[in-house]
Amino acid sequence: MSDIVGQAAAAAGAGPGAPARARAVIIGAGIVGNSLAYHLARLGWRDLVLVDKGPMPNPGGSTGHASNFIFPIEYSKMMMELTRDSTEQYKQLGVFTESGGIEVARTPERMTELRRRCTQARAWQIPAELLSPAQVRALVPYLDERVILGGAYFPTVGVVDSLRAGTLMREQAEGSGALTVLAGAEITGIVTDPDASRAGRFDGRTGGRVTGVRTTRGDIETDLVAICCGVWSPRLARMAGARIPLTPVVHQMISVGPIELFEKSPGEISYPIVRDVDANMYERQHGGDMEVGSYAHRPIIVDPDAIPSIEQAALSPTELPFTAEDFDPQLAQALELMPGLLGDERAGIRYAINGLISMTPDGHPVIGETPEVAGLWSVAASWIKEGPGCGRAAAEWMTGGVPEIDIHEADVSRFYPHQRTTAHVTARAREGFNKMYGIVHPAEQWESGRPLRRGPAYDRERALGAVFFETAGWERPHWYESNAALLERYEERLMRRPGEWESRWWSPIINAEHLAMRDNAGLVDLSAFAVLDITGPGALDAVQRLAVAQMDVRPGRVVYTSLLDEAGGFRGDLTIMRLGAHAFRVVTGGATGMMDAKWISDHLPDDGTATLADVTSAWTTLGLWGPKAREILARLTADDVSGQGFPFGTCRPIEAAGITVLASRISYVGELGWELYVPAEQGAALWDALWEAGQPSGLVPVGIGVYGTTGRLEKGYRAFGNELTAEYNLVEAGLARPTVKSGDFIGKAAYLAQRERPPAAVLCTLTVDDHRSASGEPRYMLGGEPVLGPDGQVLTDARGRTSYVTSAGSGPSVGKHILLAYLPAGQAREGNRLAVEYLGERYPVTVAVVGARPLFDPGNERVRA
């Protein structure tokens, strides 16, 4: 600490003043802010300032009251990797203590879920094993094994000292001379230059660019402000006119002690942490006390503006007064599980809080530059188990690199405006809270805030018995109950799922729709597509720089292309239509639309010669595919839609049913047909016209169950986020073309290098040979499962990446359940027999295709018909 002599500043603002300028100002000295400061310094940034209104080392945020334990198991690969990286960082700092952890099951459903978790753990190479009640008891002698049916043991679970970790990271950054820490300094404003919005910028960005912050210790000029303020983050973001979509919610925790057994055990923790997941609680030894935490109580959402100040708080601002009436109903279950230990009358509830934690609409952190304000970054909604990893990823990103972990699922720009509203954030947090320890199906749908985005044909679809799934707020028919009549026709070829788990959020109708489309034609509502127009004299150059594929094609061409990051990983996967010399239309998935828009916008030229407009709401898209698609469309148009007149890979306006339609002949389901773009208000009219014209040809409405899964997988089409992630490349994904365009594009250097060496893994199509489980019941994988070699070990490639199922689904036309997975190059042999583990059992699979060749119609004759 520098020597301070002289008159202290007024009131609580005592301490050194703020530097006039900083490379970056990091707000918040919790685990995330400290980690970010440390990693930025490590990556060579200097003149960093870390500001917190509270005192060090515990300024009063959620880090200060965290229960500080880490379970490595996550279904999300990103969350697993952030947790793994964080754990490594904690270990390097010497603040990690391995304790082991057990999730116990009270119900048969939970036992199945624990099998699923152990299987997922295998895919991620996390040690895990199922335990009998007696085995659980042997590890946790104070647990009544009669209450449980078994447990899943994760021996690498541990506890950390997150405050110490933060202190060490902060002090290292300070010690290297890169960081100035302002404790007890409050941010009173974030200064922006509203005129700094670059011309042609994505129109969501209205807030200009950050130029500095105001603090109670003076103003600091800076180009980069990182909000690492946990539950306060929305308040800080609002100062600059941005929204960080998270909300504080209450997590109740009590600490019971003294526990006689623990008084005798050395150190902070000697017994495994128990997650009583069916009761939504955990029990974790903390020295002489047992901490009991709960996610069982009613969701208690707190307005960020209602968080008390440090001075007003009885404990700390994020340790709100305990509301016993919310916790008490769970006491009986805690006592039931650990009757002797928690039932000891001498052990008292010595500490009890309504601790504030951050929740986002989808449970993932929010990392990245905000879409509204350039230079304003969010690194928030991270828990202790991800904190250091989030800090590192954000630092890698900020300093111009590509985060080693693919964090697109945590990108703050993934949210649409409606998803950043207080109503949406709180509704989803409320809904998600009690799922924290729930058994959540991978396809499980949210209920709150729906229906919001409705396509023009929504009412017609409802009338047809559409079962809607939600993507980015859009209601998308997943299948149509009206097609139940088809079940009989295709009974022989339906891949019915007797297993309860994989029959959830699924219907055999999907398979029937699929077969009907392949026999005749299907009509698909694609309103959820994000549609982005790039126009201007610089548009071609801009698009060329973004896309891997050659975009200097003649107008009227449709190009499927990947977007890469600088390291050659996938950043996007979409189609681009060249509508004119200076006009391109980007069509991408609803789920990634906002991220793609920001990525494109960030890479448009500064001179304003190309502009991006989000025209999603202006256009709606209907897909018409199947062998009879042409005859149906021909009934509505006089334009030439013949194979020669309208070849595959082209687009052009046609007149159909009195509507000017932009027809684009491509397909994601492997059939002849078109994406038909019309102004949104004419979408219903087009639907009606197609519907009527299609009846003589056996047209059926087809849902996203076919479009996104069965049709796609039969064709081996890759999906962004599943197969196409930042961790794999074009060569491995089988998407490398024979030649590389001459001009530069983002990731080109990396891509060229990737082409020079043999791929470590190759994306393959696998088919399941035998579905019978030990009980004889056929089971169907859903994705995420580990792929095992002949030795029963999870396949691992030369880069240490394990093989797991990236997509799974029926292939009704090929009569197989289809799995996609990256396999180590040595195992990527067609006909190679491997195994997939599902819910703890192994199923034989065969490598059907190595690379991108379709399983169905390998010659693509249907598409080009």
Partner 1 sequence: MTVLCLIETEPGGASEASLRALGMAAGLAERSGEALAAAWFGPPGAVPPGDLAARGTRLGYALAPAGPGGYAPRAWARALVHLSARLPDGAGAGPVSAVMAAATDRGSEVLAHAGAITGLPVAANCVAVTRAGPGELRLTRQRWAGSLLEDAVLRASPALLTVAADAVPPADAVPPADAVPPADAVPPADAVPPADAVPPADAVRPAGAVRGAGPSRGPGAQPEAAPAPGTAESVRVQVVEQAVEAADLAVRASESEQRRDGVSLATARVVVGGGRGVGGPEGFAVLEELASLLGGAVGVSRVVTSQGWRPHNQQVGQTGTKITPDVYLACGISGAIQHMAGCQGAKTIIAVNTDPGAPIVAKADYAVIGDLHEVLPALVAALRERAGGP
Partner 2 sequence: MEVCVCVKRVPMVGGAIALTPDGQAVDTSMSGFTVSPHEECAVEEAVRITERHGGTVTVLTLGPPEAEQQLRDMLALGAGRAVLLATDGTERGPVATAAAITAAVRDRGFDLLLFGNEAADTGGYQVPVRVAHALGLPCVTGIKRLEVTPGAGAAGRLVAGREYRGSLESFELPLPAVVSVKEGINLPRYPSLPGRLRARRASVEVLDPGPAPAEGLRTERLRVPRAPASRARVLGSGAGAVPALVRVLDDLGVLR
Catalytic residues, by residue number, are 251, 282, 573
Residue 342 contact, options partner 1, partner 2, none, Cβ 5-8 Å cut-off depending on partner type: partner 2
Amino acid identity of residue 348, one-letter, is G
In terms of CB distance, is 311 or 492 closer to partner 1?
Answer: 311
Binders of partner 1 in range 286-315 (CB under 8 A): 311
Q: Which does 343 bind (CB under 5 to 8 A by kind): partner 1, partner 2, none?
A: partner 2
Cβ distance to partner 2 smaller for residue 325 or 756: 325
Given partner 2, partner 1, none, residue 309, with its beta carbon under 5 to 8 Å by kind, binds partner 2
What does 183 interact with, of partner 1, partner 2, none (CB < 5 to 8 A by kind)? Answer: partner 1
Site string for partner 1, 469-508 (x = CB under 8 A): ----------------------------------------
Q: Toward partner 1, which CB reaches closer, 16 or 556?
A: 16
What are φ and ψ of residue 297, in 5° steps?
-70, 170
Taking the complex as a whole, the smallest distance from the CB of residue 16 to partner 1 amounts, in Å, to 8
Residue 306 interacts with, from partner 2, partner 1, none (CB under 5-8 Å by kind): partner 2
Taking the complex as a whole, how short is the minimal distance between the CB of residue 335 and partner 2, in angstroms? Answer: 6
β-sheet with 225-227: strand ranges across: 179-183, 48-52, 24-27, 225-227, 376-380, 366-369
Q: Which pair of structure tokens corresponds to residue 150? A: 């078994």
Residue 14 binds partner 1 (CB under 8 A): yes
Cβ proximity to partner 2, 328 vs 447, nearer residue: 328
- Is 332 near partner 1 (CB under 8 A)? no
DSSP-derived pairing of the beta strands 611-614 and 530-535:
antiparallel
Using alpha carbons, select from 70, 102, 99, 101 the residue that is nearest to residue 85. 70
Compare residues 229 and 320 and give the one whose CB is closer to partner 2: 320
Nearest to 810 by CA among 671, 670, 672, 712: 712
Provide the minimum distance between the beta carbon of 168 and partner 1 in the complex, in angstroms, as a whole number. 16
Q: Cβ of residue 85: shortest distance to partner 2, in angstroms? A: 36
Long-range contacts of 599-602 (CB under 8 A, 24+ apart): 599/546, 599/563, 599/571, 599/572, 600/202, 600/532, 600/534, 600/542, 600/546, 601/201, 601/202, 601/205
Of 328 and 459, which has the nearer Cβ to partner 2?
328
CB of 532 to partner 2, least distance (A): 44
Alpha helices, DSSP H, located in 671-736 = 683-694, 704, 711-714
Least distance between partner 2 and beta carbon 322 (Å): 7
Q: Pick from partner 1, partner 2, none: which does 7 bind, CB < 5 to 8 A by kind?
A: partner 2
Nearest distance in Å: CB 257, partner 2: 8
CB atoms < 10 A from the CB of 655, how many? Answer: 12
**Partner interacting with residue 184 (select from partner 1, partner 2, none; CB below 5-8 Å by kind):** partner 1
Nearer to partner 2, 141 or 348 (CB): 348
Q: Give least dist CB 726 to partner 2, A.
A: 42
* Selected range binding partner 1 among 11-19, 271-279, 281-289, 297-305, rule: CB under 8 A: 11-19
In the chain, the amino acid numbered 423 is A
Please choose which of partner 1, partner 2, none residue 521 contacts, taking the beta carbon within 5 to 8 angstroms, the exact cut-off set by kind: none
332 binds, among partner 1, partner 2, none (CB under 5 to 8 A by kind): partner 2
In whole angstroms, what is the distance from residue 52 CA to residue 183 CA? Answer: 5
Distance CA 819, CA 520 (A): 26
Side-by-side strand order, sheet with 761-768: 787-788, 833-838, 841-850, 761-768, 816-824, 805-811
- The entry of partner 2, partner 1, none near residue 51 (CB within 5 to 8 angstroms by kind) is none
Tokens of 621: 């898209």
Name which of 9 and 43 has its Cβ closer to partner 1.
Answer: 9
- The total number of residues shown for the chain amounts to 865
Closer to partner 2 at the Cβ: 14 or 199?
A: 14
CB 410, CB 365: distance < 8 Å: yes
CA–CA gap between residue 637 and residue 627 (Å, rounded): 17
Q: In this structure, are strands 619-625 and 570-580 parallel, antiparallel, or unpaired?
A: unpaired
Residue 55 binding partner per list partner 1, partner 2, none, with a CB distance cut-off of 5 to 8 Å that depends on partner kind: partner 1
Quick one: which segment of 9-17, 520-528, 560-568, 711-719 binds partner 1 (CB under 8 A)?
A: 9-17
The CA dihedral of 136, 138, 139, 145, to the nearest 10 degrees, is 40
Q: Which residue's CB is nearer to partner 1, number 312 or number 644?
A: 312
Q: Which of residues 372-401 bind partner 1 (CB under 8 A)?
A: none
Query: Minimum CB separation from partner 2 for residue 301, in Å?
Result: 14
Distance CA 545, CA 78 (A): 28
In this structure, the number of other CB atoms found within 10 A of the CB of residue 329 comes to 12
Task: Compose the 143-182 pattern: x for residues touching partner 1 by CB under 8 A, - for all others.
Answer: ----------------------------------------
Question: Is 840 near partner 1 (CB under 8 A)?
Answer: no
| Contact indicator for 59, 185 with CB cutoff of 8 Å | no
- Cα(138)–Cα(338) distance, integer angstroms: 14
The nearer residue to partner 1, 184 or 734, going by C-beta atoms, is: 184
Q: Are 373 and 196 in contact (CB under 8 A)?
A: no
Stretch of residues binding partner 1 (CB under 8 A), selected from 7-15, 569-577, 609-617, 843-851: 7-15
For residue 8, give the DSSP letter. P
Q: Does 13 bind partner 1 (CB under 8 A)?
A: yes
| Cis amide bond preceding 696, omega within 30 | no
- Contact residues for partner 2 (CB under 8 A)? 1-11, 14, 256, 306-315, 320-325, 328, 331-332, 334-335, 342-350, 354
Strand order in the sheet with 619-625: 651-656, 659-664, 673-679, 619-625, 521-525, 699-702
Q: Which one among 43, 56, 130, 583 touches partner 1, defined by CB under 8 A?
A: 56
Neighbouring-strand partners of residue 836 = 787, 843
Residues 36-55 that bind partner 1 (CB under 8 A): 55
Binding mask 620-639 for partner 1 (x = CB under 8 A): --------------------
Query: In the bound complex, what is the minimum distance in angstroms from residue 12's beta carbon to partner 1?
Result: 5
Amino acid of residue 84: R
Q: Rg of the chain's alpha carbons, rounded to an integer?
A: 28
Q: Total number of residues binding partner 1 (CB under 8 A)?
A: 15
Name which of partner 2, partner 1, none residue 273 binds, using a CB cut-off of 5 to 8 Å depending on partner kind: none
Q: Which range of residues in 6-14, 260-268, 319-327, 718-726 is near partner 1 by CB under 8 A?
A: 6-14
CB of 181 to partner 1, least distance (A): 11
**56: partner contacted, choices partner 2, partner 1, none (Cβ within 5-8 A by kind):** partner 1
Binding flags for partner 1, 180-199, as an x/- string (CB under 8 A): ---xxx--------------
3-class secondary-structure state, position 579: strand
Q: What is the DSSP letter of 699?
A: E
Report the C-alpha gap between 509 and 478 in whole angstroms: 10
State yes or no: residue 4 binds partner 1 (CB under 8 A). yes
> Amino acid identity, residue 820?
L
Distance CA 858, CA 362 (A): 38
Q: Which amino acid is at 555?
A: P
CA dist 147 and 157 (Å) reads 23
- Quick count: other Cβ atoms within 10 Å of Cβ 344? 18
CB 779 within 8 A of CB 841: yes
- Omega before 258 within 30 of 0, i.e. cis: yes
Q: Of 17 and 177, which CB lies nearer to partner 1 in the complex structure?
A: 17
Chain positions contacting partner 1, by CB under 8 A: 1, 4, 8, 10-15, 55-56, 183-185, 311
